[in-house]
Structures are given as C-alpha cells and as structure tokens.
C-alpha cells in the first residue's frame, strides 16, 4: 500500500524505494518525531550507498509532506502544525462513508468473508494490547474496504491524502482507550456490511473518522 501511495510500483525493491519505505515507516510509527532531523549521512551508511539515492528517496517523502528538504540544511520531518488536519479529516470522513456505502451495495459474500478475516486480525491485536499491530491491521482492513468498494476514483482520492494520513492515524490510535473504541466501532460497521445496511454503515464509518479527529485535536489542546 505504501509503495502504491509513493508511486513506486515500477521500482519495487529498488534502493530508493527501500530507503523511502524505511524512513516513511519510521515517521508514521513515531520513531522519527515531527520536527526532528533526518540524517542522510547515517542513511547512506546504513544502506551502503551514496547520498544520491537517499536524496531521491527523501524528495519522494517530501511530495507526501512527511519530510522537508530545505536548501543547504539537514532534511527534517515535517512539523504537524504545517498540516491542514481539519480539512484532511473532513474529506476522509466523507470518503470513508462513501466507501462503506459501496461495500454494502457491491461486496460479494467472499469479499465479506475476507473482510471478516482481516477484522479478526484487528481483534486479536486489540485483545493482546498490541497498539502497533492493531494499527497496521486496521490500515490493511481499510485498504481492503476501499478495494471492495470497487471505485477507482475513490481509491485514488484516498491515496492522494497520502502517507501523512497514516502518521496522523497512528498518533490518534496511540491515545488511551482509542484502540478499544475503534475495535468496537469497526465490529458494528462490519455487522452493517453483512446486513447490507448502507445508510448505517456510511454514517458509522464517517463517525469513526470524526471521532479520530476529535481525539487527535484533543491531544494537541492539552
């Protein structure tokens, strides 16, 4: 999925792709904090390469607004204050509602079974208290929801929000009690999918995104 968002489908396995994915994952997971420097020399040493592929990888992440590459200064992780969080979540809420509605209308029984299997992975991670595992299981579940919705324009719009959304979603999920609430919400949406209740699934899916926004904003206001 990250390869698709970075438009690296034709460069999978390349050195630039590996570096971009490595740094992107570390930013999303919070290992590289907003505003912190990205050491291109250390990256070149770790990947046993020159700084040219590193620079190219960081420029890909700059297009995703994850990294800033100022002239004659060290690259750094983009500060979250530069992100239009409210606008991003407003659009995500609308798109998530549409995706849910389309799943109810279009999903085959086999596709619903696949969604149920991915939901079970989320459930196991939540039961184990594994926030990181739950987050990525949730990302893959929602990616499948988009695929099942079967609307290429919708998929492109969600992808266009980019890796920055994954970073924000990770920070929201890390809040106390958020994983439990998220799991309960997704269980209810899945029941709506199985009952083909498009209105309920759309409303709940939009509400999940809106709740995540409130949690995220609450974190910064404290």
pLDDT by residue (tens digit) across 35-72?
Answer: 999 999 999 999 999 999 999 999 999 988 899 998 88
Main-chain dihedrals φ then ψ at residue 76, nearest 5 degrees: -145, 160
Which of 16-25, 86-95, 103-112, 156-165 is the least confident region?
Answer: 156-165
Q: Is the same domain home to 105 and 184?
A: yes
Q: Does pTM top 0.75 for this prediction?
A: yes
Residue 184 has pLDDT above 80, yes or no: yes
Q: Is the same domain home to 67 and 164?
A: no
Q: Is the same domain home to 206 and 119?
A: yes
Report pLDDT for 201.
99
Select from 39, 57, 80 the last residue of a domain: 80
Select from 48, 80, 112 the last residue of a domain: 80
Q: Is the same domain home to 31 and 125?
A: no
Domain count, the chain: 2
User: Which domain covers residue 54, as residue numbers?
Assistant: 2-80
Q: Is the same domain home to 76 and 88?
A: no
Which of 1-10, 69-78, 142-151, 202-211 is the least confident region?
Answer: 1-10
Residue 8 has pLDDT above 80, yes or no: no
Q: Domain holding 16: CATH number?
A: 1.10.10.10
Select from 54, 80, 106 the last residue of a domain: 80
Separation CA 43–CA 3 (nearest Å) = 19
Separation CA 35–CA 79 (nearest Å) = 5
Report pLDDT for 33.
92
Q: Is the same domain home to 202 and 168?
A: yes
Say if residue 87 is exposed, middle or buried (CB neighbours under 10 Å; 0-12, 13-18, 19+).
exposed
Tokens of 57: 């990888």
């Amino acid at each position: 999925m990250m390869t698709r968002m970075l438009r690296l489908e034709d460069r999978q396995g390349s050195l630039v792709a590996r570096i971009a994915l490595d740094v992107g994952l570390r930013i999303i997971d919070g290992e590289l904090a907003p505003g912190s420097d990205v050491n291109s020399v250390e990256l070149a040493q770790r990947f046993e390469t020159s700084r040219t592929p590193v620079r190219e990888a960081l420029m890909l992440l700059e297009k995703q607004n994850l990294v800033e590459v100022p002239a004659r200064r060290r690259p750094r992780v983009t500060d979250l204050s530069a992100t239009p969080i409210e606008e991003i979540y407003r659009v995500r809420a609308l798109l998530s509602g549409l995706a849910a509605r389309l799943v109810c209308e279009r999903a085959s029984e086999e596709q619903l079974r696949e969604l149920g299997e991915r939901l079970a992975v989320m459930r196991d991670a939540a039961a184990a208290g594994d926030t990181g595992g739950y987050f990525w299981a949730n990302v893959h579940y929602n990616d499948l929801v988009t695929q099942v919705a079967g609307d290429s324009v919708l998929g492109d719009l969600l992808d266009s929000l980019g890796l920055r959304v994954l970073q924000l979603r990770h920070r929201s999920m890390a809040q106390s009690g958020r994983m439990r609430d998220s799991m309960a919400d997704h269980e209810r949406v899945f029941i709506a999918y199985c009952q083909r209740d498009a209105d309920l699934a759309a409303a709940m899916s939009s509400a999940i995104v809106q709740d995540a926004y409130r949690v995220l904003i609450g974190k910064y206001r404290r």
